[in-house]
Amino acid sequence: MPDEPATHAAPEVKFTAEDRLILDSVDGFLADGLALKKWWEEAEAANGYTDRFEVIHTLNRPESSVGFFGEAPLDRGTTPVMGVIDEVLYDRPKVTGAWAEDAAKWTRDQMREFVLHYFMRVSDYRQPEKVVEVASEGADEEVERQGMSFKQVYYKLKGTGECGKFPPDEQGKIVDLRQIGDTYEWVIVKLRVWDFTVAIQPVGVGGPKLTVPLEEESYLLLTPDFIADEESPEEGLLGEYGFGYTFIKNPTRGPFAYGPGEFEAAFQRLNFRVHENGETNVRMIFVSNRPDKIMNLSFDPVGWGFSVADLVSFGMASRYLQPVKESLEALPLKGGNIDPTLAAMSLLNTLTGGQAASRFDLSSDQLYKGFLVQHSRQHYQTVMGSHATWRQVPDWLDSQSLPHWVIAGESV
C-alpha cells in the first residue's frame, strides 16, 4: 500500500536564495519538458527524426539502443534536440505450464509496488570491496558506489499550493510516486550520478583518451505527466509502471556547459513493462537540447599561466611571484566564458576539408553521439544494478517484512 501522506509545515519553511532560484524556475522547465515529451511522442509515431542511428550494440541479449537528432518547437523557438531510446530485458519468471498465468499476474503486482514505491530509494548500490581494518572507531569508510542516488528536496502540496522542503531525515525516503498528483502537485529530487566520467579523445577514435571523473548532481522535477501506472495499457501487456522527470538547470555554473544539471531543456522516462508471459522489460527514453557549447571556462590568462607555472614548479611560482600575480590580476584581462571544443572541431574540419570528421570522428555530431552513449550506459548500470535488489526481497507488497534500508532509502 502507498505510504500515508506526509504532513509538512510549509508556511514555516525558510527558503535560501538558491532555493528561490530553483522554485522560481519550475514552471519554465516543466513547460519545456512537456513540449519535448509531446514532440518526441509525435516524432516517434511518425518517424519524424532528422537522423536515427544505433547507439550501443549488445551481444547475446534482447536489447536495443537507438539514438536520434531532431528539431523540436519550444516556446523560445525551434530547438535542435537529440535523444536515445533504450530497451532492456529486466526479468523473466522461471515458471511454465499451469502456473505461468498466475506467476505473470503476481509479477505485475510486485513490479508495480517496487517501481512506484521503492525503486528511487534503492537505485544506487555498492561495489564489492575487500575487508579493511578500520584504524579508529570514528574513521570514515570509503564506499565505492554505482548507479544513481535520489534525495527529495522540495514539494508543492496539491490542495493548498504551498511549497516546502523535506526535512533531512526524510530526504532518502522518496515518496510513493502514486501520491504525486494527489497529495503533491510536484516533487523536486536531487540526483547524484555515481561513477560518472567524461572521456575526451583529442585526436579522435583510436587516439589517447583522457577520462575525467565528475561528481555530477542535478535537480529533477517529478510530476504526474511523467509517471506511468497503467494496467493492461495495450495488447500483450499486463501493466506498465514507471516514472520520469524534467531536468532543472543548476543555479550555479560548473566547468561543463552540458550534462547532468546543465541541460537547457530535457526529460527522462523509465517505464517497466510487464508482458502477459510475466517477462518484464524496461524502456528508457531521454531527450535533451543539443548544446551549442560543451565547456564553461572563464577566460583568465593570468590564472591559467600561474596554474601551469605552479604545476611545473611544485607551487613555488605563486609563492615567489605573488606581487607580480597581484599586479597582473588588477589589469582588465579577464573575459567571459569560452568554449574551445566545438569551435576547434569546426575549424579543423574547415582546414581539412571534412577529413577530421570522416577519418577521426572529430565532429559535433560524433561528440553528441558520445554523450548519448554515456547516458545509455549510466542508466543501463542503474537499472541492471537494481535487479539484485528486486530479486532479494521475496514480497514487495509485504511492507512489514521489508528491510529497514529499503524503507529508509539507504541502499547498501
Tell me: the pLDDT tens digits for 335-362?
Answer: 455 565 665 556 556 666 666 555 655 6
- When pLDDT is cut at 50, 70 and 90, the band that residue 79 belongs to is very high
pLDDT at residue 378, rounded to an integer? 84
pLDDT at residue 316, rounded to an integer? 61
Mean pLDDT within 125-149: 54
Residue 199 domain flag: yes
Say how many domains are in the chain. 1
Average pLDDT, the chain: 79
Residue 12 domain flag: no
Mean pLDDT within 183-198: 82
Structural domain containing residue 183? 18-126+145-297+363-400
Residue 348 domain flag: no
Residue 411 domain flag: no
pLDDT at residue 402, rounded to an integer? 95
Residue 94 domain flag: yes
Quote the cell numbers at residue 221: 522535477
- When pLDDT is cut at 50, 70 and 90, the band that residue 166 belongs to is very high
Residue 410 domain flag: no
Residue 409 domain flag: no
Residue 69 domain flag: yes
- When pLDDT is cut at 50, 70 and 90, the band that residue 192 belongs to is confident
Q: pLDDT tens-digit profile of 91-136?
A: 998 877 778 889 999 999 999 999 999 999 998 755 544 544 444 4
Predicted structure pTM score: 0.78
Indicate whether 213 pLDDT > 80: no
Indicate whether 379 pLDDT > 80: yes
What is the SS3 assignment for the chain? CCCCCCCCCHHHCCCCHHHHHHHHCHHHHHHHHHHHHHHHHHHHHHCCCCEEEECCCCCCCCCEEEEEEEEEEECCEEEEEEEEEEEEEEECCCCCHHHHHHHHHHHHHHHHHHHHHHHHHCCEEECCCCCCCCCCCCCCCCCCEEEEEEEEEEEEECCCCCEEECCHHHCCCCCCHHHECCCEEEEEEEEEEEEEEEEECCCCCCCCCEEEEEEEEEEEEECHHHCEEEECCCCCEEEEEEEEEEEECCCCCCCECCCCCCCCCEEEEEEEEEECCCCEEEEEEEEEECCCCCECEECCHHHHHHHHHHHHHCCHHHHHCHHHHHHHHCCCCCCCEECHHHHHHHHHHHHCCCHHHHHHCCCHHHHHHHHHHHHHHHHHHHHHHHHHHHHHCCCCCCHHHCCHHHHHCCCC
